[in-house]
Amino acid sequence: MIFEDWGPIDYQAALDKQLEYVEIVSTGEDHSGFLIFCTHPAVVTTGRQTKPEDIFSWQGPVIEISRGGQATYHGPSQVVVYPILNLKKPRAGRAAQEIRGYLRDFEKAIVETLHHFDIHAEGNKSDKVEDTGVWVGSQKIASLGIAVKKWITFHGAAINVHHDPAAFVGINPCGYKSETMISMEKFLNKKVNAEEFKQQLRHNLEKSL
């Protein structure tokens, strides 16, 4: 995979760029894909399962997108990951065109990264769409929502790294109350080095995906 860190980037600009990369991967038969890291200014995005009650007092921008899942928040307190991969290419331990396996591998890489920081997390343990993601007990620390075009993945995951009390206010993220969400810093009760986190996350994603 080709790794790129886009840094802070407007959500729509990042989406447009992802779609450009989807076309690059889809037309290159042997292309290894891209692994993108970035952060976004505060925005709420609505997925295909979004319900009217999911957004009730959010004051910022809202963007409707094609990923699965319900409404969720993206903001500068998160590390956002966009793998752009060809699911037609079989990978170790996973058959080609197997979306559920891809999601589980994605969750596993985030879980292993959190374990490195002494956060004992786990991936989705049910068949409910809203439970997709990474959990610490009954609280959610990472949200996953993907889309697939021409068997190329885009969209991805948002991991709550820094504590931001304004994040998730005014929405029911993934259909849950805002207090369901937790950050690494809130759980550990100390600052987290985002660069160290990204280095470990990149290693685990490149190994799993």
Catalytic pick from 157, 159, 174, 205?
Answer: 174
**Which residues fall within 8 angstroms of residue 6, CB to CB, at 6 or more apart?**
14, 17, 36, 37, 38
Cβ neighbour number for residue 62 with a 10 Å cutoff: 13
Active site residue 174: yes
DSSP H stretches of helix in the chain: 11-27, 99-116, 184-188, 194-208
Strand locations in the chain (E):
2-8, 34-39, 43-46, 62-64, 72-74, 78-84, 122-123, 133-136, 139-149, 152-160
Positions annotated as catalytic residues are 174
